[in-house]
Chain A
């Protein structure tokens, strides 16, 4: 199984919160012994920088209709990527856009959603986190 981390960008450049999210996913990946897949949507910056923060694989979605943020379309992209790569954990930054996407993704995946996470999980089975 794998961890998918959505990396948010603004005007094509990755936001700092995206690097934080990838770093978090990388720590989580060590605990879960899972591959970390970073997903970029409409980012113009060189995505290879995400590897420095711990991404093992990078998926890039480019589509003119996604250049402007649309929570449903972005959620669909995340869900499609998760389904295609046997993802069981998704990491999304706690930004305004992230908060717009995460609940939609959770419903589409019939997944639990935990917001305002402060630490890596103290247990992974059951998933227990502060």
Chain B
């Protein structure tokens, strides 16, 4: 079985985000990058499948050379080989098309992406990739059990869960629940040493059309100061909700 896990290279959640060039570009200076957390759930699930079936895991990223440490970390966790498609990701539509152009003909049985990346939170790539590859697609996947080429899946729906079955090949967009947080793999020293010797192939990106472009970023407005009100003073609460918060 061949598994492809798509890896996004994203800022660590504790990073202070800044923008440059008149707020039109993300400033990577001083940022620590990590594997997208949703992808980590997928990679760990792939590792469990590998351990029980002998599957091979390829990790893939669309990005410049600077994303290679993130791919090496995925190799250290246990992926067998890595592919970096050499392109500066411009928008989700083009990234999905670039990955699809590479994955076509590679005969992956299972493709795992994160539900979304925590930088842009678009959640576009997984569904588009499935559509380009004409694969069944399960979004917000929180459970995957394989029995040969049959898959039992669970996905999160608004207010509940849905249980599904499908036959491989399939594409899932995973999140917490695919494995539990405590099961996430941390690269061990042996894994880090072995990762240096594992193949990391760089391939050229195919020409694709960019559909959207960012004009400007905005940082969230700073939270207003908190006003403490005596729990018994409902009249004051109503007054402030009316006059200051303007929600009543």
Contacts and interface: CB of A to CB of B under 8 A. Distances in A.
Contacts of B125: 103
A107 B132 contact: yes
A108 B93 CA distance: 12
A64 interface: no
A89 to B, nearest CB: 14
A72 B158 contact: no
B92 A113 contact: yes
Given A72-B136, A72-B137, A113-B93, A103 B121 contact: no
Contacts of B218: 130
Contacts of A115: 121-124
Nearest to A95: B158
Interface string B182-222: 00000000000000000000000000000110010010000
Give the bracket for the number of chain B residues in contact with chain A.
20 to 34
B137 A96 contact: no
B157 A96 contact: yes
A104 interface: yes
Contacts of B132: 107
A117 to B, nearest CB: 11
Nearest to B126: A103
Nearest to A102: B127
B96 interface: yes
Contacts of A101: 127
A15 B158 contact: yes
A130 B212 CA distance: 12
Contacts of B140: 96, 99-100
Contacts of A104: 127-128, 130-131, 137
Given A15-B158, A96-B140, A99-B139, A106 B122 contact: no
A128 B130 CA distance: 27
Contacts of B158: 10, 15, 95-97
Interface string B137-152: 1011000000000000
Interface of A: 10, 15, 69, 71-72, 75, 95-97, 99-104, 106-108, 111-116, 128, 130
Given A72-B136, A97-B158, 15 more contacts: A69-B157, A71-B139, A75-B131, A96-B157, A96-B158, A99-B140, A100-B137, A100-B139, A102-B127, A104-B127, A107-B96, A107-B128, A107-B132, A112-B93, A116-B122
